[in-house]
Chain A
Amino acid sequence: MLFENVLDVLAPAVLDVRHVGMRYESREVMRDIHFALTAGDFVSIVGPSGCGKTTLLRAMAGLTEPTSGSVRFKDREIREPQSEVAIVFQDYNRALLPWRTVRGNIALALEARRIARSEHPARIADLLRRVGLTRHADHYPAQLSGGLQQRVQIARALAQEPQVLLMDEPFGALDAITRQRLQDELLEIWSATSTTMVFITHDLEEAIYLGNRIIVLEANPGRVAADIRVDLARPRHQLTTREDSRFLAIRHQLFGLLSAE
């Protein structure tokens, strides 16, 4: 207990997941999930499909209320979505407004924050540049590939200027090359802002490549199986980082944890 408090002083928790459990009728989906996110951290969450990753992320976003335990953002309990906590959904093709252009979709987050219209163009231009969408500003989502659509969703989430960015398998449906490019872009965005990142993936290598910390979930019911520090140098590099012996050691460890079932 004392130790926890010392840590709090050194690196205050932004998001605190406290003994969270979730039941759907008789089915227990999550049990006693407990961890805290430190400001500025990049946390990957991995686990077999159906172990409750999406349910956990939705609880952290305030979209669903857990049946036991609580999620706290700074000093307040989250029951409804908070403007400081943004979420990027897995299904980008449903999460964008098809009737608005890329620019218009990003503008939605600015409108929500009541930012003066006169400031929109400059802010949108900056966001477009950060996610590499400048050339597509006036395209409608239906005209874009999956990778570009997911960039729009990320840009919209960034337009919220959140303190925590929650992402649910954001690159899951993309091809390998697009995926690697987006991973690097995301790391650049992360290092340029102080946003705390939570990144769900079922790809173990992606989890290690991106994260400072990996929370491993096991299924039935979803529980924390391990909480692993990743001490790989930054900036990371698609080839050398993945060849690093510590990378491989963590990969072995995760593989062991997830194939134990």
Chain B
Amino acid sequence: MRRWYGLMFIAALVALAELVCARGLIWSAIFPAPHATLAALVSGLAAGDLWAPIAATLAHMLAGWISACALGVVLGALVGMTAFGRDYIAPTLEFLRPLPAAAIAPIGLLLIGRNDAMIVAVIVFGAVWPVLLASVHGFASIEPRLKEVSRTLQLTPVRALWAIWIPSALPEIIAGARISIALALIMAVVAEILASTGGLGDWLNLAERSYRTPELYAGVLLVGLLGVLTNLALERVEAYLLRWKPPAATF
């Protein structure tokens, strides 16, 4: 029962918005009534106009996120496990981290051009940090006793990595990866607006410029929906991968 309270609250907000719009309290060219947005969404989906942008954004986001995770875990392992990584790589990362990814995007445009590669590169730059920092911490905070177990069993480095280091860092990696996927969606939309080569970001931009307000809000709704769905999917993956964890104390 409780889990429905949140949905009921959203329904109440939508009803309120509908009421406010019906009364003409807000100019509909800025904020369309929810039913108009819904109508735009349904007709966009029915006519097929919206599927291509959805697919493009999903593809950009996933390509960027997966690359960010791969890069983040590899760099995180190097920095978290090795003196070399700590001494040589970490300072560069510390320098790059405060740079807002949105500021990097124009450089991407310049270097790579208006295309999918640039969009993915911008996403990687924006989304890599949470998973990278989580990996550094995950690999660095391995239980010292397990390192000794690895030594006494004389595991080869590769086997130790798969059997001990990666599973040990996995809870933190997954937590970081979940924050990264949210950032990947944000960066995908930002980069698509800049590149104007398709995707929901491009759709939003065009709708805004031609004052097709319901379509603009329909696009925003879809971006939000993508965020919710990917988060739910990752929650499932996390529960499966970390099924060995004792259930956390609940309140």
Which A residues lie at the B interface, using CB under 8 A?
61-63, 80-81, 83, 85-87, 89, 91, 94-95, 97-101, 108-109, 111-112, 140, 142-143, 160
A81/B145 contact (C-beta < 8 A), A97-B164, A98-B245, A99-B244 known: no
For A83, give the chain B residue with the smallest CB separation.
B154
Give the distance in Å from the alpha carbon of A63 to the alpha carbon of B152 in the complex.
Answer: 8
Q: Which of B149, B155, B168 has the most CB of A within 10 A?
A: B149
Measured between alpha carbons, how far is A80 from B154 in the docked complex, in Å?
A: 9
Q: Is B110 an interface residue (CB 8 A)?
A: no
Within the assembled complex, what's the spacing in Å between the Cα atoms of A172 and B243?
30
Using Cβ atoms and an 8 Å threshold, which residues of chain A touch B170?
99
Count of inter-chain pairs, beta carbons less than 8 A:
56
Give Cα A62–Cα B151 distance, bound, in whole angstroms.
9
Compute how far the CA of A254 lies from the CA of B77 in the bound complex, rounded to whole angstroms: 50
- Would B146 and A94 count as touching, CB distance under 8 A? yes
Size of interface on B: residues with Cβ below 8 Å to A:
19
- In the complex, B70 has a CB within 8 A of chain A: no
Do A142 and B167 touch (CB < 8 A)? no
Interface residues of B (CB under 8 A from A): 143, 145-146, 148-149, 151-155, 159, 163-164, 167-168, 170, 244-246
Whole-angstrom CA separation of A142 from B247 in the bound complex: 10
Can you spell out 17 A-B residue pairs with CB atoms less than 8 angstroms apart?
A62-B152, A63-B148, A80-B151, A81-B154, A83-B154, A85-B152, A91-B145, A94-B143, A94-B145, A94-B146, A97-B146, A99-B244, A108-B155, A112-B153, A112-B155, A140-B244, A143-B246
| CB < 8 Å neighbour of A81 from B151, B164, B246 | B151
Q: Which residues of B contact A81 (CB under 8 A)?
A: 151-152, 154
7 more CB-based (< 8 A) A-B contacts, given A81-B152, A83-B154, A95-B149: A63-B152, A91-B145, A97-B149, A97-B164, A98-B244, A98-B245, A111-B155
Instruction: State the Cβ distance, A58 to closest chain B Cβ, in Å.
Output: 9
CA distance A97 to B155 in the complex (A): 14
Contact across chains for A97 and B152 when beta carbons are under 8 A apart: no
**How far does the alpha carbon of A97 sit from the alpha carbon of B146 in the complex, in Å?**
8
User: What's the nearest-Cβ distance from chain B to residue A166, in Å?
Assistant: 9
Q: A97-B167, A111-B159 are in contact. Are A61 and B244 (CB under 8 A)?
A: no
Task: Report the minimal beta-carbon distance from B162 to chain A, rounded to whole angstroms.
Answer: 10
CA distance A108 to B160 in the complex (A): 10
A173 vs B246: C-alpha distance when bound (angstroms): 21
Instruction: Return the contact of A111 from the options B163, B167, B245, B246 (Cβ within 8 A).
Output: B163
Chain A min CB distance to B94 (Å): 31
Query: How near does chain A come to B152, taking the closest CB pair, in angstroms?
Result: 4
Q: Which residues of B contact A143 (CB under 8 A)?
A: 246
When the two chains form their complex, are residues B151 and A160 in contact, meaning their CB atoms are under 8 A apart? no
Contacts of B145 in A (CB 8 A): 89, 91, 94-95
B167→A99 contact, CB < 8 A: yes
> Which of chain A's residues has its CB closest to B160's CB?
A112
* B159/A112 in contact, CB under 8 A: yes
User: Would B153 and A160 count as touching, CB distance under 8 A?
Assistant: yes
Q: Which residue of chain A has the shortest Cβ distance to B242 in the bound complex? A: A99
Residue picked from A63, A91, A95, A143, most chain B C-beta under 10 Å: A95
10 nearest A-B pairs in the assembled complex, by CB-CB distance: A142-B246, A112-B153, A94-B145, A99-B167, A81-B152, A99-B244, A140-B244, A81-B151, A95-B145, A112-B155
